[in-house]
Structure 1
Amino acid sequence: MKNSMAERLKIASQGQGIPLVFIHGWGLNSAVWQPCLAQLQANFQVITVDLPGFATNKSVQLAQYSLVEIAEAIVQAVAKPAVYIGWSLGGLVASQMAIKYPAQVLGLVTVASSPQFVAQDNWPGVKASVLALFHKQLAQDTTKTISNFLKIQAMGSPHIRQDIKKLRELVMQYEQPTRQVLDDSLSLLESSDLSAQLQNIHQPFLRLYGKLDGLVPKQVIALIDQLAPHSQSYIFEQASHAPFISHQAEFLAILQSWLTEHLS
């Protein structure tokens, strides 16, 4: 396997100002952020990055598909301090970066994310059996699995059909990742637990949630409030797992107001 250092991650950049780096979630790619970018690039440098093995970085292979390796690869590609905005699995990656590379992270925004996605005794989350089923489905039909996953993202949204259609149109602009990459990145969602390390995040930290989210249940929000007492949280009342798609105007208003307050 090639080392991540052999081939640097590609990033896309538009606009000028404080850099905002957007990291996508599992199975999808950086195109999900496109609808949000136009409004932000008037005031910020907007950077999108595909995770290793996805879309523009499909050919990038890591020695080990781990949060630590991915964080290192992104820090090297961006190569300057920035605000990191991570959705779902991307939120885990962004949190890892804030913990491991504090000087490179000016601020952290997690969207529909959790430091630990799998449900445990006292921790609400996705049932391990659901993720096991995804692994099994991946082995049979990757495209169908991604399609089913898109439906889960939008469950509960007041305009579920439009949300799914929009997500699918955005994501399908790029060639899909290999089954191996999907399997490896799904394993990250299963095995990662950064809950004990959230207290080490001292940068401005905003957490955004959808009240109807089936993957990050709202019961987890109060638990994370205690683990990251310096952070702020906001709940989109009618949103599911992709508030930046279903509630784009509200999402951008909250994000820009927080950025202005904490980073300008």
Structure 2
Amino acid sequence: MKKFYLHSIGNGSKNLVLIHGYGFDSTIWFYLIKKLKKYYKIYVIDLPGFGKNRFFPVLKFNQLIKLISLYMPPKAIWMGWSLGGLIVNKLALTHPERISSIINVSSSPYFLKKKNWPGLEYSELLNFKNQLKKNYKLSVKNFFQEQKLNNKENVNPIYWKNFQKKMLATFSPSNLALEEGFKILCSIDLRKEIKNIKIPLLRIYGSLDLMVPKKISNLLDLCCYEPKSIIIKKASHAPFISHLKQFCKIILLFSKQLTFKKIS
């Protein structure tokens, strides 16, 4: 089997693991890593079929959890964006002793819209998958355009141009990875299990996010251990891109509070 690729960067005293979302790879974290690498030792993972692991065999959800569990640094903060949130939540349920805390970014324990549960229509998610398969680069451009339009006050044209350029220079994900990721988004439901996570959990949402509506925060605050939700105004599905400075402040404060709890 092809070797699973991951790498670390930074010299901080705390471990931070980043898991990207559906349709993208770890390049999505580029500027976030630049901001945080002096505070953390950051472990960057490309999921099978994406980025540097494009040719690694694509796995089903439980197989994926088993694989990633083999590469868990001690007592790390695990941050998952979108689909990545499902992964870090499941790891927190199966390996809580090896995780200090988790951060869900624009994520949900279940992504489809149901009665009394906000989310995406199946047809919307299917359309997104088909767009990625048909014209990946155009889909990436449209995604970045959405993040930029939803943040008119803080747009830095050079920043957006460079970020989009970096994403377009990466490998397109394999079609098999897009299919399996789509199945995960449609089928994995952790709504009942998430209340069993007993380690600190921070959830960050964008107020304008249509993929993961902010209404989910209220529902999860009712059932989660130590509920903590933050909604970033005028942000969409990728607040760590559109509101980078604010996002980093939130992460550093959360991390500092964890340290304080341990000392006290």
**TM-score (ref. length: structure 1):** 0.88
Give the 3-state SS of the residue equivalent to 1:209 in structure 2.
strand
Cα 1:65–1:11 change in 2 (3 A) is farther
CA distance in 2, matches of 1:151, 1:65: 31
Deviation track 1:106-164 (CA, whole Å, cap 9, x = no partner) reads: 10001111111110011001111111223444554344344444445556333679586
Give the 3-state SS of the residue equivalent to 2:100 in structure 1.
strand
Deviation at 1:55, TM superposition (A): 0.8
Q: 1:247 aligns with which of 236, 239, 243?
A: 243
Give the 3-state SS of the residue equivalent to 1:169 in structure 2.
helix
Q: 1:54 aligns with which of 50, 65, 75?
A: 50
How do 1:1-264 and structure 2 match up within 5 A? 2=1, 7-62=3-58, 64-66=59-61, 68-138=62-132, 140-152=134-146, 156-158=150-152, 162=157, 165=161, 167-263=163-259
Determine if contact 1:155/1:213 at 8 Å carries over to the other structure: no
Runs of 5+ consecutive residues of structure 2 not aligned to the other structure: none
CA RMSD of the aligned region, Å?
A: 2.2
Cα 1:245–1:142 change in 2 (3 A) is closer
Deviation at 1:216, TM superposition (A): 0.7
Deviation at 1:167, TM superposition (A): 4.5
Determine if contact 2:22/2:181 at 8 Å carries over to the other structure: yes
Cα 1:167–1:126 change in 2 (3 A) is farther
Determine if contact 1:126/1:216 at 8 Å carries over to the other structure: yes
CA distance in 2, matches of 1:249, 1:201: 29
Structure 1 residues 29-38 or 199-208, which shifts more? 29-38
Structure 1 residues 72-81 or 102-111, which shifts more? 72-81
Determine if contact 1:30/1:50 at 8 Å carries over to the other structure: yes
CA distance in 2, matches of 1:160, 1:113: 24
Give the 3-state SS of the residue equivalent to 1:195 in structure 2.
coil
Q: Number of residues paired by the alignment?
A: 258
CA distance in 2, matches of 1:254, 1:198: 22
